[in-house]
């Protein structure tokens, strides 16, 4: 009977690298997803986080003790196995292991998530375990690629990463969606957006961006709303609305291209129609708010000029184009206090939202920032915001003010579109929504 630990007796490889080790005896550490036995042969499928592999043990290939250990394995038990790798098309990654030794690390209790269908609430309650499923792994691998593409793109465009704070003394995107908390004996809020701090950073470094979580106490129970989400926010000094629209276009072409190239396997497993993503090429469609209103009315919606676009409006508009769609010059009244007025029509603003195609709707919001200190004072008052809290922000107009523009792109909505998901709840490891704070 062997009692020596198995770990380390052969090189420990990741399943994703198995093809580089054909013919070799190696060790794999992972979890059992399937187990079946024909009496003389046992088949295990192991998952190690990098991929899945079939492992086969013949009665004579392993010790009696290891044979019994393999026979006791339940779904999600953790194991260390040793064996020889050979090409086999029937194994998930095309490589199969002929087992020589099996060591149980921990035998799993009956696993709550079985291959049968489960309801969304059940899966969400078991999100900590659901992350192990092939579908969730594909989505989160694409998420990591999207984040990396965002970062790589900004770095290549010579924007400097400057982190914005999470605790903030004042609102950025309006007071109605602030999460309040206490900071020793003071009231503070969780950040809705790092933008105002990026404006300070951009006037210091020229081109900056932040990447971090944002919090909104949104009572919306839609497929697009989370209360905690991740956003990248570039800010660019001496740039105009047109400059940042062109930057958004380059960012999205780059990001979609990266995912198509390096996450093809995951897109395939999600059954994403990639021909739609291949149409994400410059130039993107661009319409003025007034044209958006005309298009909505022509589509039979009773849309009133001056209103903000709602989810349905965005779905209708973005469904009319194959590329992402820029909608520009929204009414100032439906946007945040910091938007530069449109010189062509002072009721409008130099703002832009980018709507993803296939009806996904807004994934980016941004625009040109207000230059005039006097107008800023007025807007802060009109929005019922405390002047004192914005004195530092007004300093940016007092000392070397320059036109500047920027935007915020949400990771989850962008990912929902790229991966073809119908709800943002699967785009983030542990979603926080109106009725969801656990696990
Ligand atoms: O349009 P928003 O509110 O813009 C801003 O926060 C600006 N301060 C950004 C800037 O100019 N620096 O949010 C930007 C993006 C949205 O387009 C969307 O992708 C995402 O953030 N977002 C949300 N994602 C998930 N759930 C929510 N509740 C979201 N709210 C905004
Ligand atoms: Mg917005």
List the structure tokens of 31. Answer: 């979890």
- Burial (Cβ within 10 Å: 0-12, 13-18, ≥19) of residue 245: buried
State the distance from the centre of ligand 2 to the C-alpha of 366, rounded, in angstroms: 7
For ligand 2, the distance from its centroid to the CA atom of residue 122, given in whole angstroms, is: 31
Tokens of 414: 């962008």
Residue 394 pLDDT > 90, yes or no?
A: yes
Q: Are 25 and 16 in contact (CB under 8 A)?
A: no
Q: Ligand 1: which residue has its CA nearest to atom 11? A: 407
Q: How far apart are CA 44 and CA 70, in angstroms?
A: 8
What is d(CA 224, CA 355) in angstroms, rounded to the nearest whole number?
12
In the chain, what percentage of residues exceed pLDDT 90? 94
- Mean of the per-residue pLDDT values of the chain: 96
Does residue 352 register a pLDDT over 80? yes
Q: Sign of the CA dihedral 171, 172, 175, 177?
A: negative
Name which of 3-7, 38-42, 426-430 the model is least confident about: 3-7
Token pair for 322: 């194959």
Alpha carbon of 151 to ligand 1 centroid (Å): 17
Q: How many CB atoms lie within 10 A of CB 133?
A: 15
**Dihedral of CA 372/373/376/378: which sign?**
negative
pLDDT score, position 1: 44
Per-residue pLDDT tens for 310-326?
999 999 999 999 999 99
391 to 95, 199, 337, 387, 394: CA distances (angstroms): 63, 14, 14, 7, 5
| Ligand nearest to C-alpha 195 | 1
∠ CA(36), CA(37), CA(42), 5° rounding?
A: 95
Burial of residue 119 (number of CB atoms within 10 Å: 0-12, 13-18, 19+): exposed
Q: Which atom of ligand 1 is nearest to the CA of 192?
A: 6
Ligand 1 atom 22: the closest Cα is on which residue? 410
Q: CA 353, 355, 361, 365 torsion: positive or negative?
A: negative
Q: How far, in Å, is the centroid of ligand 2 from the Cα of 308?
A: 10
Q: Could you tell me if 407 and 244 are in contact, meaning their C-beta atoms sit under 8 angstroms apart?
A: yes
Q: Which ligand is nearest to the CA of 354?
A: 1
Dihedral of the alpha carbons of 289, 291, 294, 296, in degrees to the nearest 10: -60
DSSP lists the bridge partners of residue 369 as: 339
> What is the gyration radius of the CA atoms in the chain, in angstroms?
27
**Widest CA span in the chain:** 86
Mutate to test the pocket of ligand 1, among 191, 223, 231, 428 (most ligand atoms within 8 A of CB): 231
Q: Which residues line ligand 1 (CB under 6 A)?
A: 172-173, 193, 195, 216, 218, 225-226, 229, 231, 233, 362-366, 406-408, 410, 412-413, 424
CB-CB contact of 92 with 44 (8 Å): no
Q: Look up tokens 């592999």; give the residue.
A: 53
CA-to-CA separations, 231 to 176, 264, 412, in angstroms, rounded? 19, 24, 8
Q: Are 396 and 235 in contact (CB under 8 A)?
A: no
Question: Which residues are CB-neighbours of 381 under 8 A, at least 6 positions away?
Answer: 387
Per-residue pLDDT reduced to its tens digit, 277-289: 999 999 999 999 9
Choice between 172 and 201, residue whose per-residue pLDDT is larger: 201
Backbone angles phi, psi at 397, to 5 degrees: -90, -20
The pLDDT value given to residue 213: 98
Best residue among 168, 174, 176, 193 to mutate for probing ligand 1, ranked by most atoms within 8 Å of CB: 193
Q: How many angstroms is it from 363 CA to the middle of ligand 1?
A: 7
One DSSP character per residue, 87-112 reads E-TTSTTSEEEEEEEEEEEEPPPPPS
Residue nearest ligand 1's atom 30 by CA: 225
Ligand closest to the CA atom of residue 408: 1
The predicted structure's pLDDT at residue 3:
59
Q: What is the pTM of this model?
A: 0.96
Flag whether pLDDT at 431 surpasses 50: yes
Question: Which pLDDT tens digit goes with each residue over 362-374?
Answer: 999 999 999 999 9
What confidence score (pLDDT) does residue 116 get?
A: 82
The mean pLDDT of 86-100, rounded to a whole number, is 94
Residue 344: how many other CB atoms lie within 10 Å: 9
Cα distance between residue 152 and residue 247, in whole Å: 14
CA distance 362 to 324: 9
- Mean pLDDT, to the nearest integer, of 79-100? 96
């Amino acid at each position: 009977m062997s009692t020596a630990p198995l770990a380390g007796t052969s090189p420990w490889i990741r399943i994703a690298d198995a093809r580089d080790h054909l013919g070799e005896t190696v060790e794999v550490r992972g979890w059992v997803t399937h187990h079946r036995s024909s009496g003389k042969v046992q088949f295990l499928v192991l998952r190690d986080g990098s991929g899945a592999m079939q492992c086969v043990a013949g009665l004579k290939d392993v010790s009696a003790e290891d044979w019994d250990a393999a026979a006791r394995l339940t779904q999600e038990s953790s194991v260390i196995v040793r064996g020889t790798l050979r090409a086999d098309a029937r194994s998930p990654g095309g490589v199969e292991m002929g087992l020589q030794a099996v060591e149980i690390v921990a035998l799993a209790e009956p696993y709550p998530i079985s291959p049968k269908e489960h309801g969304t609430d059940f899966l969400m309650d078991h999100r900590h375990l659901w992350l192990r499923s092939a579908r969730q792994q594909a989505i989160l691998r694409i998420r990591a690629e999207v984040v990396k593409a965002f970062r790589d793109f900004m770095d290549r465009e010579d924007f400097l990463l400057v982190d914005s704070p999470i605790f903030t003394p004042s609102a950025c995107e309006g007071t109605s969606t602030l999460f309040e908390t206490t900071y020793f004996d003071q009231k503070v809020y969780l950040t809705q957006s790092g933008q105002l701090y990026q404006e300070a950073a951009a006037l210091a470094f020229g081109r900056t961006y932040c990447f971090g979580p944002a919090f909104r106490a949104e009572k919306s129970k839609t497929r697009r709303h989370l209360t905690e989400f991740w956003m990248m926010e570039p800010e660019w000094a001496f740039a105009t609305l047109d400059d940042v629209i062109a930057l958004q276009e380059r960012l999205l072409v780059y990001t979609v291209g990266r995912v198509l190239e390096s996450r093809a396997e995951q897109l395939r497993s999600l059954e994403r129609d990639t021909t739609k993503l291949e149409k994400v090429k410059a130039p993107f469609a661009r319409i003025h708010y007034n044209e958006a209103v005309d298009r909505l009315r022509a589509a039979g919606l009773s849309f009133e000029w001056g209103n903000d676009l709602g989810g349905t409006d965005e779905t209708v508009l973005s469904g009319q184009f194959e590329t992402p769609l820029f909608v520009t010059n929204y009414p100032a009244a439906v946007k945040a206090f910091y938007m530069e007025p449109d010189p062509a029509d002072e009721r409008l603003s130099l703002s832009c939202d980018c709507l993803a195609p296939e009806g996904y709707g807004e994934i980016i919001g941004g625009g040109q920032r207000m230059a005039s200190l006097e107008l800023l004072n007025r807007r802060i008052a009109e929005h019922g915001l405390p002047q004192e809290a914005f004195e530092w922000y007004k300093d940016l107009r007092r000392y070397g003010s320059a036109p500047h523009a920027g935007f915020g792109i949400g990771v989850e909505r962008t990912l929902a579109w790229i991966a073809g998901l119908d709800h943002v709840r699967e785009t983030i490891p542990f979603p926080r929504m109106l009725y969801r704070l656990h696990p």
